[in-house]
Amino acid sequence: MNLIFLGPPGSGKGTQAKRISQKLGLLHLSTGDLLREAVKNGTELGKKAKAFMEAGNLVPDELIIGLIEEKLAAGQLDGGFILDGFPRTIPQAEALKEMLKKHKKSIDRSILLSVSDEEVIKRLSGRFYCPKCNAGYNYPMQMPKQDGRCDFDGTELRRRPDDEEDVVKNRLEVYKKQTSPIINYYQKESLLRDVPGDGDGPDRVMARVLKVLEEIA
């Protein structure tokens, strides 16, 4: 099964992509995680991406498209996948279609997690992660057992620099201008399914996504 998870920053697409990929045995590919790793390791890609990410802007298409092409060429997507955070522009969506065609693959569904702007801002201001194992937390919905410490290794939790309020506002603008046109793109291809991601907690949202996926199981 080959899936795309779409949605604004903070919609829960990373959380859902992680859970559902584990449940269905799919590869979870988050371009944001790959880029953060590249920045941390100071690679060429990381150096090129850093300033864009810190400002909440998109990294140039060709860098991201190259990253996905590498994964495809290495056969890492052969067992089925969830793309989380890619594509984010129409040129990326078009490039993905071509790349998949070249590798005799296609997308089965594009799942849109819909969440209001107010909820996004509320969630991102409560979002923390563990810099050691990358576990995610969200105050007050998913709090760690000990305030400010990771449940798995006790490391002090951090906020992503791009979760600061002014950067979040820009990320939402960028989403509306550059990413939301791909909703229409996948609607036209009859691949889009809209799942409400608001309010009810990650278990309920996961159940909704799995229900929608039953039609292609």
Per the annotation, the verdict on 13 as an active-site residue is yes
Nearer to ligand AMP, 169 or 211 (CB): 169
Bridge partners for 6 per DSSP: 112
Please report which helix (H) or strand (E) contains residue 112, including its range: strand 109-114
Nearer to ligand AMP, 12 or 85 (CB): 85
Q: Quote the DSSP letter at residue 142.
A: B
Mention every residue, 6+ apart, whose C-beta is less than 8 A from residue 216: 1, 108, 109
Choosing from 19, 123, 127, 193, which is the catalytic residue?
127
Residue, CB closest to ligand AMP: 32
Mention every residue, 6+ apart, whose C-beta is less than 8 A from residue 102: none
Residue 40 is encoded by which pair of tokens?
Answer: 């941390």
The C-alpha atoms of residue 107 and residue 96 are separated, in whole angstroms, by 9
Choosing from 13, 109, 193, 208, which is the catalytic residue?
13
- CB atoms under 10 Å from CB of 68, counted, come to 22
Q: Min. distance of Cβ 58 from ligand AMP in angstroms?
A: 4
SS3 of 47, please? Answer: helix
Nearer to ligand AMP, 98 or 146 (CB): 98
Q: Min. distance of Cβ 44 from ligand AMP in angstroms?
A: 16
Per the annotation, the verdict on 88 as an active-site residue is yes
Contact, 185 vs 93, CB < 8 A?
yes
Q: Min. distance of Cβ 164 from ligand AMP in angstroms?
A: 12
Rounded to the nearest angstrom, the gap between the alpha carbon of residue 160 and the centroid of all alpha carbons in its chain is 14
Nearer to ligand AMP, 57 or 142 (CB): 57
Choosing from 19, 88, 109, 193, which is the catalytic residue?
88
Q: Min. distance of Cβ 30 from ligand AMP in angstroms?
A: 6
Choosing from 123, 171, 193, 208, which is the catalytic residue?
171
The C-alpha atoms of residue 145 and residue 142 are separated, in whole angstroms, by 9
Q: Min. distance of Cβ 145 from ligand AMP in angstroms?
A: 25
Residue 62 is encoded by which pair of tokens?
Answer: 């060709």
Q: Give me the amino acid identity at 91.
A: P
Choosing from 18, 48, 149, 160, which is the catalytic residue?
160
Nearer to ligand AMP, 132 or 211 (CB): 132
* Chain residues in the site for ligand AMP (CB under 6 A): 9, 31-32, 35, 52-53, 56-59, 64, 85-86, 88, 92, 162, 171
Catalytic amino acids?
13, 88, 127, 160, 171
